[in-house]
Structure 1
Amino acid sequence: MYERFYYLNEKPFKITPDPRFLFWSEGHKEALAHLRYGVEEKKGFVVITGDVGTGKTTLLQALLAGLKDNIHYAAVSNPGMSVDDFLYYIGNAFGLSVGTFSKAQFLMKFSDFLHESASQGKYVLLVIDEAHKLSVELLEEIRLLSNLETAEEKLLNIFLVGQPELNQKLTDPSLLPLRQRICASYHLLPLTREDVGEYLKKRLLVAGAKFSNLFKPGAVRAIYKYTRGYPRAINILADQALLTGFVRGKKEINTRIIREASKDLTLPGEKRPRFFPAWLKWGMGAVAGVIAIVLWGIFYFS
C-alpha cells in the first residue's frame, strides 16, 4: 500500500525469514561462525539459542542458502512430534524411502546413507529449528543418531536452534551424554541501540529505497526503546510506522509517528511513557500538594 509513496520496490519489514534482508550484527556473525565451524569441522552438536524474534530462523535460512553442493541437509521446523514420526520425517527429508520400516530398519538404512555420503566426500547436516519444543525422549533419540560415526569422524552434524528454554531442558540429568557432545553453543542477543539504525537502512536499501534515512534519528531511538532491539518487533513497528506515515502524508518518519504506530501493538520494550502537557503536570502537582496538606491536618487535629 505504501510502497509507491516511499519509492520502494517491496515492503522492507516483512516478518518472513528472507535471507536477503539479514542484517549482520556482531552477534549474528558470531552465531554463524559457530554454525559454520560445526559443519566444516564435523563436530557433531551445535546449539544456538535466542529469545523470540532475535533472528534465529533468518540466520538459519542464510546458512542453508550458502551451503556447498557437497552438503546434504534436512531442516525440521516443527519438532513437536513423536519419535516414530520424527524418524519418518527426516528419512523422507534426506530422500530415503522409509515406508513403513521399523525403527531398526530405519537405523540400518540411515547408517548406510551416512556411510555412503562420507565415502563420496559429502557432509550430512540435520538442522532442528524450534528445538526447545523437543521432548527429552526425542532429544535422547537424536543423540543416539549421532552415534552413527566412524573412528575418524562424525557422520552426522546436528544443529539445535531454539529459545532459551532449550538450555534449561538440556540440564535434565538423562541428557548428560548429549550435553557432553555439544562442541559449540551461542546465545543470540537482540540488536544494540547502534545496530537498529543500520538495520533499518539495510532493509530499506534491499527494498529499493532511494534514501536510506527515511527514519529520523529520534524515530530510530524510539524504535529501539519500544522494541528493545528485537528484529521481529522492529519489523512490526517499522511497517506500522510506514503505514501511519503514508496515511498522514509524511515522507519522513519522526518520533511522533513511531509513538502513534506503537499504540495498538504488543512490543517487548519498556512501558510507553505518558505524555502530559506542562499545564497538566503543574496542576497535578498542585492537587497532590493540597491533598498532602489536608491529610496532615486530619492527622494533626485528630
Structure 2
Amino acid sequence: MFLKFYNLREQPFGTTPNPRFLYPSVVHREALASLICGIESNLGFAALVAEPGMGKTTLLFHVLTRLKNSARTAFLFETQCSSQSLLRYLLAELCVPTTDPDPVVLHEKFKQVLCEESRMGRRVVVIIDEAQNLDAKVLETVRLLSDFETPEAKLLHIILVGQPQFAKQLGCPKMSQLLQRIPMMNFLRPLEPREVTEYVDHRLRVAGYSGPQLFTTSALERIVELSNGVPRKINRICFNALSLGCALATKQIERSQIDEVGTDLDLGLLLNNVKASHPVSVGAAVSIPDVPPKAGETPTAGIGQVGNVTRTPETIGRVVATTEDARRIQRCMFP
C-alpha cells in the first residue's frame, strides 16, 4: 500500500463519495449554493444533472452533512421500482417501520412524519438518485408527494438527481407538470485544466500529504488530457499512478508513469497488444496458451470462461501473466 510510502493518512483517491474530499470547483460551488438555497426557501423541488463520474454523489453527501442538524433526510438509490415500492423505501430510509403494503396507509404514515417534523421546526429532504431510471408512473407519484404542504410552506423538499437523459425526459410533453414544479435545474460540467491540478492537490492535502509537489507539472498536464476533467477518471489515474510510483520507489510521479497508467487503464488496447504478441484470440473471452493447472483444478482456456476454476487474482494471474501486457491487465482488474 502506498499510504505509508507517501506519508498519507488515508486514501486520497478512493471510490467512496466522502464529502470531506469535495473539491469546491466553480460549478460545484454554484450547484451546492443553489440546492441549499432551494431547501431553505421551501421551493419543494430541485434537480441536479450530470454525466457519470462528475461528483454528484459526493456533492449530495455534502448537502446531507450540512442538513444533519436541521432536517430529516432520506437518500434513495433504488429507482427501478414501482410507486408502492418507492414509498416503502422512502419510509424505511426515514426509519419508519411499516408492514402494510396498502398505498393509502403508506401515504398516511409519510404524512404523519412530515407533520411531526414540521411541528418541531425541521424540514424533510429526500434525494432520489439515478432519477433517469424512474418509470413515468413513479415520477407522477413523486410529483404528487410535493402536494404535502401548509399555507405557509412545503412540508417536503425533493432533489431529483440523474444523468443527461433525465433532463430529456423532463422535456417530454407528458412531464410538463413535473417540470413546472422544478424551479432550479443544476448541471455539473467537467473540471477545467487549472481545476484538475487544484483537485489533485486538494485531495492529497485532505488525505494528510504535506510534502513537496507529488505530481510533476508535466504529469498533471497528462492527467488533464487522459481524464477530460472527469473527477472519477482523475481518481482512477492518480490511484494507479501512486501504486506504480510506490512499486518503483519513486517519490515524485512523472509524466511517463501517467502514460503507463493510461495504457494500463485502456483494456481494449491491452487486449489488442496481447493478440498481436501471442497466438491468442480476442472475442467473448481471451484465449491463452495452455497453462498447467494446479492439482484439483479444471484446466481453463481463458479469462471469464465458465469452469470449476474460481475467478480470483491468483488464478487469473496464472492464466494471463505470460506477457507484460497481461500483467497490466491483472493489475488493472485487481488494483
Q: What amino acid is the match of 2:57?
A: T
Describe how 1:239-278 pairs up with structure 2 within 5 A.
239-266=239-266
**Which residues of 2 match residues 101-180 of structure 1 at below 5 A?**
101-180=101-180
- Specify whether residues 41 and 20 from structure 1 end up closer, same or farther in structure 2 by C-alpha distance, changes over 3 A only: same
Residues 76-127 of structure 1 deviation map (CA, whole Å, 9 limit, x = unaligned): 0221112111111111222323221411122122223212322221111111
Q: Secondary structure at the match of 2:150?
A: coil
Q: Which residue of 2 aligns with 1:64?
A: 64
- Does 2:220 align with 1:226? no
Distance (Å, rounded) in 2 between the aligned partners of 1:16 and 1:113: 30
How far off its partner does 1:261 sit? 0.8
- Once the two structures are overlaid, the 10-residue window that deviates more, 204-213 or 44-53, is 204-213
Matches for 1:174-253 after TM superposition, within 5 Å: 174-211=174-211, 213-253=213-253
3-state DSSP class of the match of 1:264?
helix
**Which of structure 1's runs of 4+ aligned residues deviate more than 6 A?**
none
- The 3 A distance-change label for structure 1 pair 46 and 229 is same
Q: C-alpha displacement at 1:249, in angstroms? A: 2.1
What RMSD over aligned residues (CA atoms) do the two structures have, in Å? Answer: 1.4
Alpha carbons of 1:212 and 1:124: their partners in 2 closer, same or farther (altered >3 Å)? Answer: farther
1:18 paired to 2:18: yes
| In 2: Cα distance, 1:261 partner to 1:97 partner | 48
Q: TM-score, normalised by structure 2?
A: 0.77
Q: Determine if contact 2:49/2:166 at 8 Å carries over to the other structure.
A: yes
How many angstroms apart in 2 are the aligned matches of 1:173 and 1:196?
39
Give the residue type in structure 1 aligned to 2:214. L
Distance 1:250 1:110 in 2: 57
Aligned 8 A contact 1:80 1:134 in 2? yes
> How many Å apart are 1:67 and its aligned residue?
1.1
Relative contact order, higher structure (CA 8 A, sep 6+): 1
SS in 2 for 1:73: strand
CA contact (8 A) 1:38 1:45 kept: yes
1:107 is paired with a residue whose SS is helix
Q: How far did residue 210 of structure 1 move? A: 2.2
Shift of residue 161, structure 1, vs aligned partner:
1.1
1:85 paired residue number:
85
Percent identity of paired positions between Structure 1 and Structure 2: 39
CA distance in 2, matches of 1:49, 1:62: 16
Q: Which whole-Å deviations, capped at 9, do the CAs of 1:235-279 have from their partners, x for residues lacking one?
A: 000111111112222111111110011102149xxxxxxxxxxxx
Q: After superposition, where does 1:272-291 map in structure 2 within 5 Å? A: none
Partners of 1:11 and 1:73 in 2: CA distance: 28
Aligned residue pairs, count: 267
The answer as to whether partners of 2:84 and 2:101 remain within 8 angstroms in 1 is no
Tell me how far 1:11 sits from its aligned partner.
Answer: 2.0
What letter is aligned with 1:248?
L
- Is the 8 Å Cα contact of residues 77 and 130 (structure 2) preserved in structure 1? yes
Contact 1:214-1:251 at 8 Å conserved across structures:
yes
CA distance in 1, matches of 2:77, 2:164: 16
Residues 122-180 of structure 1 deviation map (CA, whole Å, 9 limit, x = unaligned): 11111111212211111111001111112221111000111111101112322211100
> Is the deviation greater in 188-197 or in 240-249?
240-249
- Matched residue, 2:48: 48
- Which secondary structure state, in structure 2, belongs to the residue aligned with residue 160 of structure 1? strand
Task: Check the 8 A contact 1:201/1:212 in 2, yes or no.
Answer: no
Q: Indicate the structure (1 or 2) with the bigger Cα radius of gyration.
A: 1
Q: Please tell me whether the aligned partners of residues 74 and 126 of structure 1 are also in contact (alpha carbons under 8 angstroms).
A: yes
CA 1:14–1:30 in structure 2 vs 1: closer, same or farther (change >3 Å)? same
Could you tell me how far 1:185 is from its partner in structure 2?
A: 0.9
**Residues in 1 aligned to 2:149 and 2:18: alpha-carbon distance in whole angstroms:** 34
CA distance in 2, matches of 1:230, 1:212: 25
Q: Is the 8 A contact 1:204 1:212 kept in 2?
A: no
**C-alpha distance in structure 1 between counterparts of 2:23 and 2:65, whole Å:** 15
Q: Are residues 73 and 212 of structure 1, via their aligned partners in 2, closer, same or farther at CA, if it must alter by over 3 Å?
A: farther
Unaligned runs of 5+ in 2: 268-335
Structure 1: gaps of 5 or more residues: 268-302
Is the 1:12–1:207 Cα contact (8 Å) retained in structure 2? yes
In the aligned structure 2, how far is the partner of 1:246 from the partner of 1:113? 52
Q: SS of the residue aligned with 1:54? A: coil
Letter in 2 for 1:159: I
